[in-house]
Amino acid sequence: MADQRKASGSYHTGGPKMRAGNRTTWLAFVTLVLFSALVGAGCGKKAGAGSVGASPGTVSARPPQAGGPGPVAPGQEVVLEVYVPCAFGPASSKIAKLFEAANPGVRINRVVENVSVLAPKIAAGAKPDLFLCNGDHEVQMLESKGLVAEKRDFCFTSLVLITPKANPAGIKSVQDLVKPAVKTIAVGAPETSVGYYAQEILKQAGVWDKVQKKLVRPRFPIELMKLASEGKVQASIAYGTCFISEEGEHKQQAAKLKLVADFKTDYCQTIPCQAVVIAGCKHPELASKLAEFLTSPECQAIFASSGFMTLSETKCYEVPGEKPAASPAQGGSGSAPTGKPGR
C-alpha cells in the first residue's frame, strides 16, 4: 500500500534543454541526483519502515513533528481536505492553525459535520485526505470496504449515563434502567461508535435483554443529550466529552442534565478516536503527516483541554469474555493502540 503511494503535491524540477556533448551527460547526471534527493525528502514512509499501515499498532518511532521537509514546493499551495466530526470542531481549528504555520503552502480545509454524516459520505465515494473519527466502529465499516489506507489512535473518549436534571425516574445506576418507571432510554444507532459501545455496556451490566424494548436509537449522537434534556426519555447514554463541553448547544443541554454514571471508571470502557487516511485521496503523504502531528504533546494538550483522554493516559478496554487490557503510553515503544482488542 504505502510502497506504491505517490507523493501528492510533489513538484517538478526541470529547466532549459541541455546542449549535446559531455556537458549534457554530466549535467543530466547531476540533475537526476538532485531530483532524487528532493523527491526522497518529500515522500512518505514506506510500510515496515515506520508508517501507519494496515497492521494495527504500527506507528512511527520518531517524535511527531509539524514542520520539516514536505511535498509542497515554494510558491505552491496544497489544500488538505479533512473531515471533522462536531466533537473535534474547536480543537481541530487550533490544530489546523499550528500545522499550517509549520508547513508553508499547506492549507487545511475542514469539513465539520456529524460523524453519522461524514462516514457514510466516505463510504459512498467521497475522498477527503483525512477523517477524524470519534470512535472506531465507523472506521471498521470503512475498512471493510477497502477505504482505509492508514489509521492511528490520537485520543480517547468515553460514555456517560445521563438523565433529565430532575431525574423523575430516580435512576442511580445502569441497573435501574430495568425499573418500570423507566419507559424510554436513548442509545445511539448500532452503526455508530456511541451506539455500539452503549450496547456493549448494557450487555456487560446484564440488563440488555430487559431494556431492548425501551430503546430509542437516534442516528446522530447530539440527539442523545437533546432527548434527555427535553425530558423525552428518562435516560440517555452519550459521549462524556459532549456532556462536559463548554461549546454552544452541548453546554446548553448539559445544564438541563444530571450525570448518573461515567462508564470510563464504572465499566473500564474507553473508546479510541482515530485519524484515517482515506485510500485514493489526493494527498496521502501530508494526511499521514497531519495524523502523526495529532499525537504530538502540543496537540495532545489541546485534546485534553476539550475533555478527551490523551494517549499518555492509561486506558482499559473490556470485551465480554476478555480481560481488560491497558493500552501502551504514547512514545518510547514506538507504538500506540489502534482499536479495541478482539475487534
The mean per-residue pLDDT over the stretch 62-88 comes to 74
Identify the helix (H) or strand (E) that includes residue 93: helix 89-102
On the question of pLDDT at 48 being above 90, the answer is no
Decide if pLDDT at 19 tops 80: no
Say what the pLDDT of residue 66 is.
54
Q: Does position 334 have pLDDT exceeding 80, yes or no?
A: no
Domain ranges of the chain: 1-156+270-312, 159-266
Residue 313's pLDDT is: 84
Of 62-71, 145-154, 295-304, minimum mean pLDDT range: 62-71
List b or e across 296-307, with b for residues whose CB sees 16 or more CB atoms inside 10 angstroms.
beebbebbeebb
- 330 falls in which pLDDT band (50, 70, 90)? very low
Q: CA 155, 203, 309 angle in degrees (round to 5)?
A: 15
- pLDDT tops 70 at residue 150: yes
Overall average pLDDT of the 187-211 stretch: 96
Least confident of 15-29, 197-211, 322-336: 322-336
Domain 159-266 in the same topology as domain 1-156+270-312 = yes
- Can you give the pLDDT at residue 108? 98
H/E element, 325: strand 325-326
For the ranges 16-20, 91-95, 304-308, the lowest mean pLDDT is seen at 16-20
Beta bridge partners of 163: 258
For residues 197 and 208, the answer to whether their CB atoms sit within 8 Å is no
Give bridge partners of residue 71 from the DSSP assignment.
Answer: none
Higher pLDDT, 87 or 41: 87
Distance separating alpha carbons of residues 19 and 6, to the nearest angstrom: 31
Q: How confident is the model at residue 329 (pLDDT cuts 50, 70, 90)?
A: very low
What pLDDT does residue 78 have? Answer: 96
Helix (H), strand (E) at residue 192 = none
Look at residue 247 in the predicted model and tell me its pLDDT.
Answer: 65
Q: Would you identify the CATH topology of the domain 1-156+270-312?
A: D-Maltodextrin-Binding Protein; domain 2 (3.40.190)
pLDDT at 224: 96
> Residue 267: what pLDDT?
75
- Compute the average pLDDT of residues 208-216: 98
Pairwise CA distance, residues 62 & 80, whole Å: 23
Residues 302, 91 contacting (CB under 8 angstroms): yes
Which helix (H) or strand (E) covers residue 160, if one does? strand 159-164
- The reported pLDDT for the residue numbered 243 is 83
Q: What average pLDDT score do residues 147-175 get?
A: 97
Give the per-residue pLDDT at 77.
Answer: 92
Closest CA to 290 of 120, 78, 115, 138: 78
Residue 115 has pLDDT above 80, yes or no: yes
Q: pLDDT tens across 236-266, in order?
A: 999 998 888 766 677 788 889 999 999 987 7
Q: Which of 317, 324, 288 is nearest to 158 (CA)?
A: 317
Apex 129 CA angle, 285 and 64, nearest 5: 45
Write down the CATH number for the domain with range 159-266.
Answer: 3.40.190.10
Average pLDDT (36-43) is: 32
Higher pLDDT, 252 or 84: 84
Please check the confidence at residue 90 and state whether its pLDDT lies above 80. yes
- Once rounded to an integer, what is the mean pLDDT over residues 136-152? 98
Instruction: Report the mean per-residue pLDDT for the chain.
Output: 77
**pLDDT tier at 189, thresholds 50, 70, 90:** very high
Cell of 211: 431494556
Q: Look at residue 43 and tell me whether its pLDDT is greater than 50.
A: no
Residue 58 has pLDDT above 70, yes or no: no
